[in-house]
Structure 1
Amino acid sequence: MADPLSADALVRALKAEGVRVVEYKSWRTHNRNHKGPWGPVHGVMIHHTVTTGTDATVELCYAGRSDLPGPLCHGVIAKDGTVHLVGHGRANHAGSGDGDVLAAVTAETSLPADNEADTDGNTHFYGFEAINLGDGKDPWPAEQVEAIVRASAALCRAHGWGKSGDTSVIGHAEWQPGKIDPRGPGITMNDVRRRVAERLDHAASWTPTTPHSEEDTDMPLSDADVDRIAAATARKVALYKDTRLDSRDARQMWDDAASPHHTWQFRRTADGPDAWGLLSATAAEVGALRQVVAQLAAGGGLTAEQIEAAAATGARTALAELGARLTVEEG
């Protein structure tokens, strides 16, 4: 049996786990306790909002709707990973769900399929609403998923959950028949639970240094990553055998060409390399690579057609920007 954390203890637990916290309005006393008990609590439930925009979503989850009064959760997790606390106490987020699922969460055993709605979940679960359209297309940024993991781990750590199993964190779809959240490219509840369990094996201040799985293609690029991309690009687009570019040259070409305050001037000679052709090809290749990497970071895997379209868009954009900033003189 676990009593809910106090408001102060909740904030401390989240911040200790590295979560960025915003305390919204009078969240500490905002609840639905007059409609029923909050507690004992046994787990954490994750939802998606079917909305866009942080400010509007936070206010919606705080105030609720005419047919469903707020708070609609305890915290709203924005795309950038910030957790906005909107309620403390009973919240309208879980609704009625499967009592067998609650029993499994309490015992930290494997989750059964949810096939009935016979138990009040608002009494027994913390709830986080993550901003996402829930259409299966809206991507889940790495920062947002990491915040879901950290916030969930903070509560598990504070309550001592997760020691004999990893089912203390569930999705709404695993609780109430007919629900689908959370869903979309970049998130699965199995991956969230695995990462929560991994965090609980470390101190709250721990930060992963390597990608968690093949699904984690949205890790930020380091300078070394960019240098390797630049070097590969330079090798691929070297148009003349007597032209040599190392990664620093290729990267500097891109950075300088992208500067609005810089104009390149090249002189074309009869026996020298076609500098405009070389730089154009380099810009097109790097632009294509960056466009593909950006889409991978935003949404996970891409099909061959999506990669081709992304590369074409990146190449066109890079060349258009480059052409507007270069002056080529004939020799």
Structure 2
Amino acid sequence: MQAFITRETLPSLPPPSTLKGPIAWMRQNLFSSVGNTIVTVVLVLAILAALIPFINWAFIKADWIGSSRDDCTSGGACWVFVYVHLKLFMVGLYPEAETWRVLLVGMILVVTLAGLMIKGVPFKKYLQLFALIAFPIIAFMLLSGGSFGLPHVETNFWGGLLLTLVIAIVGIVAAFPLGILLALGRRSSMPIVKAICVVFIEVWRGVPLITVLFMSSVMLPLFLPEGMEFDKLLRALVGITLFQSAYLAEVVRSGLQAIPKGQYEAANALGLTFWQGMYKVILPQALKIVIPGIVNSFISLFKDTSLVLIIGLFDLLATIQGAFASPKWLGYAIEGYLFAALVYWVFCFGMSRYSQRVERSLKTTN
């Protein structure tokens, strides 16, 4: 027998598949006992029993391209309904000749967000200033028009996914700083400031969003000077921003309360003013703690945009409901709702995954 001796350390071998990896995870979580094995098998069979017919209806027997319901002849899902109304679902009644403006705004938004999310992109501070200051102005001028030779497009013609994103993005961006100020005001030592913030937060949190939208659409013009009119979309944005800021204020306040008292004392010991201490010491820690709550509020706001239908604004869900209510397309509500669910899920899942990535980068999760 020959022996092989080496003075070099051999590389470590990976653990066996029975101890780490998918097989080990399934043995530990799905087949760890007889009872778990039976439950797993029953659930898998039930899922397959429901999933196989759905896949057959939604994909295998589905009709994908056409111009009318007469092209749906296979007996499966009629995705022709979505194909025919895709432009309506995306931009509503926005003039077809001007849809390039919507595409341009979308491209700028995607490039800006990609630059902010990807690590290693230079000049991120300037990109952040562009996203907060320049982009909203550029987007409004392109979408609304009326300057630089662009035809004016009234907000009544905005709809579909375009309107959903406008309401969600403006609501998120405007409500976040207002929510922080309300949270700081509620914890203020000045009685008047604290009382105003408490009343504001509790009133707006105690009123349903539908009521807020009605109020912003019907009552807000009553408080304006005579002859001054607010656009219907602007009224909805004001109401949603105030409503969402009250919820964000409580989320941020929970983060402020989680900060040890020693951090406040340390900021004072360094000679920092109140606002300097909040900006440099307290808020970075507090916001890091409440990232899940903040993102949860953002996701909730994105889905609540569908309520603007009650004041005559046609977002994504409203345009889909209007399309399958047409006599030409009666009976295709399932395809419409599935398409809406897919779009909402993509955006909400994207926000959730990005928040988890931020948490991992800030090491707020195990």
Higher strand share: 1
Q: TM (normalized to structure 2)?
A: 0.23
Q: Which has the larger radius of gyration?
A: 2
Q: TM (normalized to structure 1)?
A: 0.25
